Structure 1
């Protein structure tokens, strides 16, 4: 009985998600984001055709950072499935003792990381596939370990549904 209820619930959710996804390229994307400081899983969810939120759990040497971004997506160059996105958010995490900032800074204990993030990039959904590829620049203002401003490129790969 429980198995039947779960099956019907799953079919219902997939049907509703499929109907909503027709109005836009996709509703949810799950994948990996690769950057010079952190690499890890990411999830993007669209509220409507233009507005999305993205959560990234970035693992780095001697630490981890969680980033939350609010993004706006707009079509560019009149190319189907190609969108410019931009937005901002915050990050929080921690790092262990060691050298950072290209070896310029040494921390002799664990540190909290907290700051503000921006993002600007392009995303393309490969035709006839549920795969999206994104390339972006992520300006970041770090506050907890001393004020540091940095801009890092990133590559994202996501399965969309």
Structure 2
């Protein structure tokens, strides 16, 4: 319950201190995401504020595919800096023969995302940091907050 209250407070703060984005800085991006899982990630803007992001997360003895819808909003007074939030789902599997709990286990659940992204001025690089609250249903249920950082090459 405490984590949910913190998440609601964070989202409210983002909306309070933000302004509507005039336009995204790029159309698509590809790069790497570092979190509990590590792997390639891609983002595609479907309009000026909304993007779809796909991540392939590799972990010890398994992998997961995560799809997210994200709303990007400009931050007061800071150019090329965006806040974003959204939701999605993940699907994958783990298989650790040394630990029977994780032997051939399905990963399936709901994901959220709250983060910041900065496009480095005069460069094709975007840096991001986020929190990914997830509800794991396949081997749960349990709730988890997964912090992550990312680096992407942007395509205009």
Q: TM-score range by the shorter chain?
A: 0.7 to 0.9
Aligned equivalent of 1:146, options 140, 147, 151: 140
Larger Rg: 1
Report matched runs for 1:93-104 at 5 Å.
93-97=92-96
Gaps of 5+ in 2: 1-22
The answer for the alignment partner of 2:43 in structure 1 is 44
The answer for the alignment partner of 2:25 in structure 1 is 25
TM-score of the aligned structures, taking structure 2 as reference length: 0.81
Alpha-carbon distance, 1:148 to partner: 1.0
SS for the counterpart of 2:148 is: strand
Report matched runs for 1:66-85 at 5 Å.
66-85=65-84
Number of residue pairs matched by the alignment: 133
The answer for the alignment partner of 1:120 in structure 2 is 114
Change (3 A) 1:149 1:125: same
Structure 1 vs Structure 2 CA RMSD: 1.4
Distance 2:131 2:104 in 1: 27
Distance 2:62 2:102 in 1: 14
Distance 2:122 2:44 in 1: 20
Distance 2:86 2:24 in 1: 19
Change (3 A) 1:124 1:41: same
Alpha-carbon distance, 1:78 to partner: 1.9
Distance 1:33 1:109 in 2: 25
Q: Is the 8 Å Cα contact of residues 64 and 93 (structure 2) preserved in structure 1?
A: yes
Q: Is the 8 Å Cα contact of residues 67 and 88 (structure 2) preserved in structure 1?
A: yes
Distance 1:46 1:91 in 2: 20
